[in-house]
Amino acid sequence: MHELSKMIKDDMKPALGVTEPGAIAFAVAKARSFTKGDIKKVNVAMNSGMYKNAFTCGIPNSNEVGNIFAAALGVVAGNADKGLESLADVTPEDNVKAQEMIDQGKITVELSGITSRIFIEATVETEEDKAIVTIRDSHTNITKIIVNDKVELETEDEKKTEEDGGEEESHSIHKYTLQQLYDYVTTVDIEEIRFINEAYKVNLELFHEGLENPRTTFARQLLAINNGKEVSDDEQKTASLMCNAAIEARVIGLDKPAMSITGSGAHGIIATMPLYAAYKVNGYTEEQLLRATALSYLVCMYIKEYSGRLSAFCGCAIAAGSGMACALVYLRGGTVEMMAHTLNNMASSITGMICDGGNQGCTMKGVAAVDAAYKSVEFAMNGIYISEVHGINGNTPEETMRNMGLIASPGMVGTEKTIVEIFEDKLKK
């Protein structure tokens, strides 16, 4: 299997609800699995991106939101064996028990630092045991487990972090150029990337849940805008409906997973669903769709691995939106140069969009991403684009994607701090 095929396959993971509450619940459930007896205390320390993204986001099988409730459900009913779907089996009775634990002051969360690197440290104390589970850099990457002061697991990732002070290594995708990514998606054996179909199976079920569930609101209006049809003859309206009905379903915690990429369900939705709309409206082949999706994923990953997994800018719109835009150029028979010009248009328009957590606002950001992508593609394929001399655009598409990522990290660390301070002030009120 080609390195890039493996990169995509390893990164694609189903996630129930917004990824951050799922990761918090997973960490707590894992720590709980090493303990016996009644719960005395649960504490979860996390980086600012994790704290922010889970702050008001919906939780699967619950009408509650936020990181404290996710932690409580994780210890009450979380199934660590299900990873990011650890809350799949939560019942109404579990919700009552979780609230009781919160009311008793047994569940606490704290901010460990302002950083785009994923970090969770879940501590579960019972009458008999104490277990600490540490996660770093991806949502289910357990790097250390301590049970009753004995180290049960310590991975190389944890040791490297302790030795190098937390510096991240360059991601292997950054050794490729946009031309090489294009060459790969146009030549890879189609059977090697057939697994991408699973993303459409998962995301389409989520989309239909968004249309049918009475809790959604944006989904209904987007359907009305598309003349009441799931697929109309208007590609962009169909794309916005399919993309953003799925995002709304996800962020309010409806009981269907999204297929995530770069650790985010919304990234995975934006990188795929508009392409599915284009496929349905224009009659592209399944092979074209799969190759386009591979390109969308890879461009998303390229930008996201510079920005950090959880940063102060909206990687869903910016990274996934840019990947999706390049894939639209591919589907329309465009050139790599047109893709580079599309990236310039995206970089010059929505790069500054903030991430203020996983919440209903993600739906509006998704709407903006689809609009920006379609306009960026239309302009670029007609020779209209923001040239390299302007703004953060680079002399090459690789430089442009790198600069887009750098705006987030280290560029928006101060913004991240301000967003978290606003959240904490809201808690006080």
For the chain, what percent of residues have pLDDT higher than 90?
83
Q: What is the mean pLDDT of residues 120-130?
A: 97
The full set of domain ranges for the chain reads: 8-164, 172-427
378-429 confidence digits (pLDDT tens): 999 999 999 999 999 999 999 999 999 999 988 998 999 999 999 989 888 7
What does the alpha-carbon distance between residue 354 and residue 9 come to, in Å, rounded to a whole number? 28
Within 10 A of 86 (CB to CB), how many other CB atoms are there?
29
Query: In this structure, are residues 349 and 155 in contact, taking their beta carbons and an 8 Å threshold?
Result: no
The span from the CA of 391 to the CA of 204, in Å, is: 37
pLDDT in tens, 164-174: 555 556 899 99
Architecture of domain 8-164: 2-Layer Sandwich (3.30)
CA distances from 249 to 82, 209, 223, 254, 317 (A): 20, 7, 14, 5, 17
Question: What whole-number distance in Å separates Cα of residue 342 and Cα of residue 379?
Answer: 8
Q: If you search the block for the tokens 């996800």, which residue do you land on?
A: 250
pLDDT at 162: 59
Dump pLDDT digits (tens) for 298-355.
999 999 999 987 788 999 999 999 999 999 999 999 999 999 999 999 999 999 999 9
Residue 4 has pLDDT above 90, yes or no: yes
Stretch 132-147: mean pLDDT = 95
| Spatial contact of 109 and 43, defined as CB atoms under 8 Å apart | yes
Q: What secondary structure letter does DSSP report for 193? A: G
Q: What is the mean pLDDT of residues 98-121?
A: 94
Can you tell me the distance from the alpha carbon of 222 to that of 16, in angstroms, rounded to the nearest whole number?
Answer: 23
Q: Which helix (H) or strand (E) holds 260?
A: strand 257-260
Model pTM? 0.87
Cβ contacts of 268 within 8 Å, gap of 6 or more:
12, 15, 199, 203, 258, 259, 260, 261, 320
pLDDT at res. 165: 53
Q: Is the predicted pLDDT of residue 27 greater than 90, yes or no?
A: yes
Contact 271, 320 (CB under 8 A): yes
Q: Average model confidence (pLDDT) for the chain? A: 94
For the residues of 18-83, what is the DSSP string, one character each? SHHHHHHHHHHHHHHTT--S-EEEEEEEEEHHHHHHHTT-B-TT-S-BSHHHHHHHHHHH--GGGG
Q: DSSP strand E in 73-207: where?
A: 107-113, 119-126, 130-136, 142-147, 150-154
pLDDT bucket at 154, cuts 50 / 70 / 90: very high
Quick: pLDDT tens for 182-195.
Answer: 999 999 999 999 99
Residue 239 has, within 13 A of its CA and on its CB side, a CA count of 25
Q: Burial level of 137, CB count in 10 A (0-12/13-18/19+)? A: middle
